[in-house]
Amino acid sequence: MLRDPYEVLEINRGATREEIQQAYRRLVKQYHPDQYRDHPLEKLAQGKLAEINEAYDYLMKNGAGSGSYSGSSGSYRYNSDSDNAFFQQVRVHINNGDLQTAEQMLDQSNTRTAQWYFLKGIVFQRKGWYAQALSHLQTAVNMEPGNAEYRNALNMMNYNNRMYRERSGQYGSRDVDLCTICQCLVCTDCCCECMGSDFITCC
């Protein structure tokens, strides 16, 4: 059950929309997973961040604050409908291979929902930054454990990492055989298909 959203965001009742947004940004920065990576409080911070996002979304969707939201330069958070359109646009850029635009949009957004972490993780994955990708996908799953898309992407990354370690230990410094290369290509294709794209068009 959602706690008092004003209490979660550490603001007074009757706070303006701008004050709510400022509190949200401050708390997101305070509990951002990157600050707690490999830290004993990592799980606690992820849970706190999920609660902050839920409280903020509740207040925004229920018209908390006075006046209409005009937004600030580079901000994409207005309401749930615009969030969905925004994330869909990010997905289009990712599927088209325009990772730079997708990443810029995500970095400029104040939204730090599970979908934000998922898409940021996919961008990192496509760029070959696997440690960052794994961290962001794990955060997305922690925030929305029931989301099959997020969990499948995380499981596939963990599987690929496990296969890589096993193969590295098995073959050492020797050349990798054709079967291993094929397995890696198939796994990559599966990850791409999770995003609606295709790495191997014949499969």
Question: Is the Cβ–Cβ distance between 116 and 86 less than 8 Å?
Answer: no
How many domains are contained in the chain?
A: 1
Question: Is the Cβ–Cβ distance between 132 and 124 less than 8 Å?
Answer: yes
> Tokens at residue 51, please?
């609660």
Domain presence at residue 136: yes
Please tell me the distance from the alpha carbon of residue 47 to that of residue 142, in angstroms, as a whole number. Answer: 8
Please tell me the distance from the alpha carbon of residue 94 to that of residue 119, in angstroms, as a whole number. Answer: 9
| Owning domain of residue 163 | 110-203
Domain presence at residue 181: yes
* Residue 116: band (very low, low, confident or very high) from pLDDT cuts 50, 70, 90: very high
Please tell me the distance from the alpha carbon of residue 88 to that of residue 110, in angstroms, as a whole number. Answer: 16
pLDDT at residue 78, rounded to an integer: 34
Domain presence at residue 89: no
Domain presence at residue 129: yes
Question: Is the Cβ–Cβ distance between 153 and 191 less than 8 Å?
Answer: yes
pLDDT at residue 74, rounded to an integer: 32
Instruction: Find the range with the poorest average confidence among 4-13, 54-63, 125-134.
Output: 54-63
Domain presence at residue 141: yes
Domain presence at residue 69: no
Question: What digits encode the pLDDT tens for the residues 57-102?
Answer: 888 877 665 433 333 333 333 344 456 778 888 898 898 899 999 9
pLDDT at 187 over 80: no
Please tell me the distance from the alpha carbon of residue 11 to that of residue 20, in angstroms, as a whole number. Answer: 7
Share of the chain above pLDDT 90, in %: 13
Domain presence at residue 202: yes
Question: What digits encode the pLDDT tens for the residues 155-172?
Answer: 888 887 777 677 665 555
pLDDT at residue 52, rounded to an integer: 87
Domain presence at residue 26: no
Q: What DSSP element (H or E) covers 194? A: helix 178-194
